[in-house]
Structure 1
Amino acid sequence: MSLEKRSLSFYFLAAFFGLFILFLYGPMLVIFLLSLQGPEGGLTFPMKGFSLYWINSVFQQQRIGSFAEPFQRSIILGLIVMLVTVAVTVMAGLAFRNRFLGSRSLFYLTISSLIVPSILISFGILVIFSQLGLPTEWYTSALGGHLTWTIPFGFLIILGIFNRFNPAYEEAARDLGAGDVQTFWEVVFPLILPSLVGVGLFGFTLSYDEFNRTALITGSDNTLPLEIFGMTTNVTSPALYALGTLTTIFSFSVMAIALFAIQFFSRRQQQ
């Protein structure tokens, strides 16, 4: 069987796509390679040796700053944001299934945070906390800043989920004598659970690497993105690249766990 002859446009588009992939993942590959240098390695090529020295040094005290505690704060903050985002957006989605007075205005007010510059959100929260005499901390003011970013996105996703939801399942449960609370937990929640895993993952990842909405309101304790930014303004080491390698592996691991959870809950629905 003769192979199908490709047109010139096919090779042109294939080359363009290859360049796009190289542009997208090339910097990541460079970071990976530079993080695997020996103890004498620097911030640029050529590489000096090959070892896991800088990978091991990530969790040790650095010449300027540290990674371990900011990483823990970012993880904890991301998990809190994830849980709050899922809870608030589900309740909002349930409320918006029916029209109520002011629903249109409340909808636009909710998503307006997405079009306001992030640094202005951070500055506004800083002003509010200053006027109230409250200290800015990563678990209070920074949490609020992240929620102004994750809740509008999660809210839009939840609206799409409920727009596709078949209300016949709820009607059948009520016909069998189930109340509203029982109907939600035993019928609605299991059906939307795979989608909620995606909403939670979205909220966590948005929080985990958020910088602008955190810049002015974390107080004295930095999250990981702020700590990395602070290190890039000073003389640092390939440990910064090693951190990028580890956080990338961590991000892909979280995505893999979320996809496994979505498939698991989806299979349970089909049984």
Structure 2
Amino acid sequence: MGLKKRSPTFYILAAFFVLFVLFMYGPMFAIFTLSLQGQNGALTFPVRSFGFYWIKSLFLQQQRIGDFGAAFQRSLLLGLLVMALTVLIGLMAGLAFRRRFPGSRVIFYLTISSLIVPSVLVSLGIGIAFSLLGIETNWYSSGLAGHLTWTLPFAFLIMIGVFNRFNLSYEEAARDLGASEWQAFKEVILPLIAPSLIGVALFGFTLSYDEFTRTSLISGGRNTLPLEIFGMTTNVTTPALYALGTVTTVFSFCIIGIAFAAFQFFSRRQQQ
């Protein structure tokens, strides 16, 4: 039996998909390639020699391109703090919106409106508010507020969707068996929505970790990693910047891998 002849539409769609993948991932792979050069590497192609010199130099040599280590620590701490608050507040909001209450519609649209307002205006508004209150802007105060205006609406929408599909009979059965509200939440609701909470946590961390615009005007005198990388683009003359991009990308994939493993763990527990 011969192979079925494919229509011209198939080849057109396949070519479009290949171009789409190249458009999405081509620049990233170019950065990876240029970061894997020897000591005589340049900022542009062709690659003169392959090696890990510039990646090792980030950790083993004193860099003049910026405060990479401190900026990374600030972004990591800020991302973890945003992640924790996003999960906690998103979960509380989802539980609250399981039932309608006076003003719920207004609160819903006010929360979502943060996604519509341009990021630079949000950053500017937070900076002005802190200035009027006499509070100094910093990455852990005003920067945290700016990031939460970006992550909380997404967490809010996700948790509303999760609880809209949640089967209340599980919770009602636990209450009928004598469980208190806290016991029903801890033993029934939380294990069932744990994979969704992991997704919200990963979403919140990644949105915070690479956020630039909402941090640009309210980070104070200490930059987060995206701001530091942006500043490096004006004075870097070596592939060290590409090496930094490669390292941070690998770190992001590690975080995704950890979150995926946790998701699989809780999903298996639900099936047992």
TM-score w.r.t. the length of structure 1 is: 0.98
Asked if 1:81 is matched to 2:75, the reply is no
Residue 46 of structure 1 aligns with an amino acid whose one-letter code is: P
Determine the C-alpha separation between the residues in 2 that align with 1:116 and 1:61: 41
Partner residue of 1:33?
33
Residue 6 of structure 1 aligns with an amino acid whose one-letter code is: R
Q: Deviation at 1:206?
A: 0.2
Q: Deviations over 1:1-42 (max 9, x none)?
A: 311111111111111111111111111111011001111211
Determine the C-alpha separation between the residues in 2 that align with 1:145 and 1:39: 40
Partner residue of 2:270?
269
In 2, are the aligned partners of 1:63 and 1:236 still within 8 Å (CA)?
A: no
Determine the C-alpha separation between the residues in 2 that align with 1:13 and 1:187: 46
Partner residue of 1:4?
4
Partner residue of 1:170?
171
Q: Deviation at 1:235?
A: 3.5
RMSD: 1.0
Q: Deviation at 1:64?
A: 2.8
Partner residue of 2:256?
255
Partner residue of 2:95?
94
Determine the C-alpha separation between the residues in 2 that align with 1:21 and 1:74: 29
Q: How many residue pairs align between the two structures? A: 271
Asked if 1:15 is matched to 2:12, the reply is no
Determine the C-alpha separation between the residues in 2 that align with 1:236 and 1:268: 51
Determine the C-alpha separation between the residues in 1 that align with 2:217 and 2:260: 34
Q: Deviation at 1:248?
A: 1.4
Determine the C-alpha separation between the residues in 2 that align with 1:237 and 1:145: 33
Q: Deviations over 1:165-185 (max 9, x none)?
A: 000011111111111111111
Q: Deviation at 1:108?
A: 0.2
Partner residue of 1:116?
117
In 2, are the aligned partners of 1:170 and 1:187 still within 8 Å (CA)?
A: yes
Q: Deviation at 1:103?
A: 0.3
What secondary structure is seen at the aligned counterpart in 1 of 2:215? coil
Q: Deviations over 1:42-98 (max 9, x none)?
A: 111121211111001123432231211111111111010000000001001100000
Determine the C-alpha separation between the residues in 2 that align with 1:236 and 1:203: 33
Residue 66 of structure 2 aligns with an amino acid whose one-letter code is: G
Structure 1 stretches of 4+ with a deviation exceeding 3 A read none
Determine the C-alpha separation between the residues in 1 that align with 2:271 and 2:8: 46
> Structure 1: where are the runs of 5+ without partners?
none
* Identity %, equivalent residues: 69
Q: Deviation at 1:268?
A: 0.4
Determine the C-alpha separation between the residues in 2 that align with 1:48 and 1:72: 33
What secondary structure is seen at the aligned counterpart in 2 of 1:248? helix
In 2, are the aligned partners of 1:89 and 1:155 still within 8 Å (CA)?
A: yes
Q: Deviation at 1:256?
A: 1.5
Determine the C-alpha separation between the residues in 2 that align with 1:216 and 1:55: 30
What secondary structure is seen at the aligned counterpart in 1 of 2:238? coil
> Structure 2: where are the runs of 5+ without partners?
none
Partner residue of 1:55?
55
Determine the C-alpha separation between the residues in 2 that align with 1:168 and 1:61: 60
TM-score w.r.t. the length of structure 2 is: 0.97
